[in-house]
């Protein structure tokens, strides 16, 4: 398509490089230009209204018009627009946010390290795992286990843990040594005939145990896992899965990293996905809904036992030699703290628990659609896996682009969702969504799937 050179679309095509975009197709199709937002809705430059069905990128939990967050940003800019946390410095927002995160944290987490994004949090967690094992005199214990179809970010280290071809192809990833990928815990796709969920979880735990033993337990440092696998297809863990794999990790002194970048702050119906699934992490990464994404911020939480090892090792080396200029930015910390206050003041967790039955009811009903092999989810996150044959679970050929087609037709219903690997579709609305809006969202999904089905046959 041709665009006027000085129009918004023309200038975008002339100057912008878009992430996760087919660049050739973008030159033809052009951008969707979002100009404003209100509640669960966003508006384009033609003033068309869309339901933002993925909360942006799994992140805008409080929607697009929370005035308290805007005020928190403005107030902090007036007081202290920037400082850092290097060399003993601290700021009031960072102290208050760190204290609040530990108050809310699952398990035995005791210290907070602030960063700028989920990928940066995962990168930092990797460094901390290595530093910790050096500190306790086990420098050979460096291998990190991820899971097939996991998503942990796109930077060099985080992208090496991510086990999705579209993140790694063309980038020479994985690019760090010692990355191991274990089974995907998706019972629908990988469970064997006659195998219960519990038996499937047992098999995966046994496979993990064997992998660690084959690698040498003295070389395996940590396993990283999303409580719910998000961008890989919204895959909820089978029953007893985390209970069983944590026993394997404990047996071999392997750290548990909970990647809560998507699941944290109410998405699963509790404050953390770790609370939902009984995970007791040694390290936890979070971002996204930490500030409802009004400003970039992420965090790495660690146990006091890990921190104590850091103290001893940094004394030996002279410093804890890592840091980010904008990590612990006072304005980002202030808006994150206000976000957590709103979650409490508005009782967002209870709201999610109240509307989850309707969300999950409509999600399950979509599972009966001819295109859908499985509809799965927990809390206010759901996924659809499209199949060519519901009985055999046979998938469409890659050339059919079934999920992108369905998402395009759903977009025609003024609802923004996202296709995912394995012909998946992610559904993850802002946490503030109402039952009425849930029904409207799923009505639009049904109409879009009907249109896609008429083409795919």
Question: Residues 194-248: pLDDT tens digits?
Answer: 999 999 999 999 999 999 999 999 999 999 999 999 999 999 999 999 999 999 9
Residue with tokens 């090792």: 313
Helix, strand and coil content of the chain, in percent to the nearest 5, comes to 45, 15, 40
Beta-bridge mates of residue 44 = 34
pLDDT digits (tens, 9 = 90+) for 396-455: 999 999 999 999 999 999 999 999 999 999 999 999 999 999 999 999 999 999 999 999
Torsion of the alpha carbons at 433, 434, 435 and 439, rounded to the nearest 10? -60
Is 38's pLDDT higher than 90? yes
* Per-residue exposure over 99-126, b if at least 16 CB sit within 10 Å of its own CB, e if not: ebbeebbbbebebbbbbbbbbbbbbbbb
- Number of residues that this document lists for the chain: 457
pLDDT on residue 4: 77
Structural contact between residues 288 and 57, judged by C-beta atoms closer than 8 angstroms: yes
What is the value of pTM for the model shown?
0.97
pLDDT digits (tens, 9 = 90+) for 237-251: 999 999 999 999 999
Q: What is the DSSP letter of 32?
A: -
**Model confidence at 5, in pLDDT bands (50, 70, 90)?**
confident
Is 1's pLDDT higher than 90? no
């Amino acid at each position: 398509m041709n665009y006027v050179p000085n129009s918004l679309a023309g200038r975008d095509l002339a100057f912008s490089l878009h992430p996760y975009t087919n660049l050739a197709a973008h030159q033809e199709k052009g951008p969707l230009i979002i100009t404003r937002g209100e509640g669960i809705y966003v508006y384009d430059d033609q003033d068309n209204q869309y339901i933002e069905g993925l909360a942006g990128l799994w992140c805008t939990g409080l929607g697009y018009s929370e005035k308290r967050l805007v005020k928190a940003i403005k107030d902090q800019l007036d007081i202290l627009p920037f400082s850092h946390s290097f060399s003993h410095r601290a700021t009031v927002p960072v102290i208050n946010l760190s204290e609040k995160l530990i108050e809310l944290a699952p398990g035995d987490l005791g210290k907070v390290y602030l960063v700028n994004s989920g990928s940066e949090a995962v990168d930092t967690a990797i460094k901390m795992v290595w530093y910790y094992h050096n500190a306790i005199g086990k420098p050979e214990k460096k291998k990190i286990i991820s899971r097939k179809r996991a998503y942990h970010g796109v930077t060099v280290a985080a992208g090496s843990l991510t086990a999705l071809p579209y993140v790694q192809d063309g980038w020479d990833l994985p690019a760090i040594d010692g990355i191991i990928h274990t089974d995907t815990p998706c019972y629908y796709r990988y469970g064997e005939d006659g195998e219960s969920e519990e038996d499937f979880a047992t098999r995966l735990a046994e496979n993990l145990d064997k992998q660690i033993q084959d690698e040498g337990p003295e070389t395996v440092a940590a396993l990283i896992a999303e409580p719910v696998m998000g961008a890989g297809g919204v895959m909820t863990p089978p029953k007893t899965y985390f209970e069983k794999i944590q026993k394997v990790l404990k047996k071999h002194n392997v750290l548990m990293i909970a990647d809560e970048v998507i699941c944290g702050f109410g998405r699963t119906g509790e404050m953390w996905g770790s609370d939902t699934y009984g995970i007791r992490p040694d390290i936890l990464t979070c971002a996204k809904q930490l500030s409802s994404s009004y400003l970039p911020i992420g965090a790495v939480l660690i146990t006091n036992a890990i921190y104590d090892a850091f103290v001893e090792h940094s004394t030996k080396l002279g410093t804890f030699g890592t840091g980010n200029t904008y990590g612990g930015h006072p304005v980002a910390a202030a808006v994150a703290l206000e976000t957590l206050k709103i979650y409490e003041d508005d009782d967002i967790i209870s709201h999610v628990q109240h509307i989850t039955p309707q969300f999950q009811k409509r999600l399950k009903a979509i599972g009966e659609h001819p295109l859908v092999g499985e509809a799965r989810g927990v809390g206010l996150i759901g996924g659809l896996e499209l199949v060519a044959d519901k009985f055999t679970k046979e998938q469409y050929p890659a050339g059919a682009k079934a999920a992108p087609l369905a998402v395009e037709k759903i977009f025609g219903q003024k609802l923004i969702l996202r296709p995912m690997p394995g012909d998946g579709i992610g559904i993850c609305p802002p946490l503030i969504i109402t039952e009425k809006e849930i029904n409207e969202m799923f009505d639009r999904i049904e109409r879009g799937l009907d249109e896609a089905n008429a083409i795919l046959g």
